[in-house]
Copies of this chain bind each other. A is one copy, B any other.
Amino acid sequence: MITTNWIDRFEGLARLPAGIKDTLTRQSAVVSLPKGAEVFGPGAVPDNLLLLLDGTVRVSQTSQSGREIVLYRVEAGQSCVLTTACLLAHEAYAAEGRAETDIRAAAIPRATFDRLTAESTQFRDFVFAAYARRITDLFRVIDEVAFGKIDMRLAQRLLELAPSRGPLKITHQQLATELGTAREVVSRQLAEFARRDLLSVGRGSVEITDADTLRRIASA
């Protein structure tokens, strides 16, 4: 036990028996990818289960017509089960994962994954919990897209994405992709928010000035 193991960063894994942790450590590799790299997708089918150590991965889907929507993000300390199982078991769907920052992840080969799910109840629980989380994420997306109002959704997303201080660096098009809507819709809604002094916009940046009101809109 030399290193402060990365395993302990994962809530569901910290209490694994030492033997299992050992297997996990020895049979997995820590990989790095630069910001912007495709983690999985049409061009890169993963054959490892990825446990994200640092950074975030944005998972999105593109329609035939070329419009795109962000489905969810995988943050440090979470695993990328969905995508793995999904892409392994079925024909590749038009979902892709892209590194939103430089990332570091532990890659667990299929064989090891298999062995661990067989040997450890806790590892199994970890995996199933990860599935459950993603599935509820997808449920939420469906609810929002099908029934949510745009002003509410935009306000929500801005609050999520905004750094604790300073402006959020993002284009209207990128915000539109977040919500699966059109750029013009975002531009107009931002203009409306700006008119009400809830935020100020610049080229490629948005700065929230009245987070309270925005929060009220977001939860309406």
Chain A residues in contact with chain B, CB under 8 A?
61, 63-65, 67, 69, 71, 82, 85-86, 88-90, 93-95, 114, 117-119, 121, 124, 128-129, 131-136, 138-143, 145-147, 180
With the chains together, A136 CA to B88 CA distance in Å?
A: 12
Q: Tell me which residues across on chain B come within 8 A of A134, comparing CB atoms.
A: 135
Q: Tell me which residues across on chain B come within 8 A of A139, comparing CB atoms.
A: 61, 71, 86, 93, 95, 138
Q: Tell me which residues across on chain B come within 8 A of A67, comparing CB atoms.
A: 146-147
With A63-B146, A67-B146, A71-B139 known, 13 other A-B pairs at CB within 8 A are: A61-B139, A61-B142, A61-B143, A63-B143, A85-B131, A86-B132, A86-B135, A88-B132, A90-B133, A93-B140, A131-B131, A138-B138, A142-B180
Q: Tell me which residues across on chain B come within 8 A of A143, comparing CB atoms.
A: 61, 63, 94
Residue of B nearest to A139 (CB): B93
Pick from B63, B71, B93: contact of A136, CB under 8 Å? B93
A208 to chain B, nearest CB (A): 25
A132 near B71: Cβ-Cβ < 8 Å: no
With the chains together, A118 CA to B141 CA distance in Å?
A: 33
Pick from B132, B142, B147: contact of A85, CB under 8 Å? B132
A180 near B131: Cβ-Cβ < 8 Å: no
Q: Tell me which residues across on chain B come within 8 A of A89, comparing CB atoms.
A: 128-129, 131-133
With the chains together, A88 CA to B29 CA distance in Å?
A: 31
A198 to chain B, nearest CB (A): 23
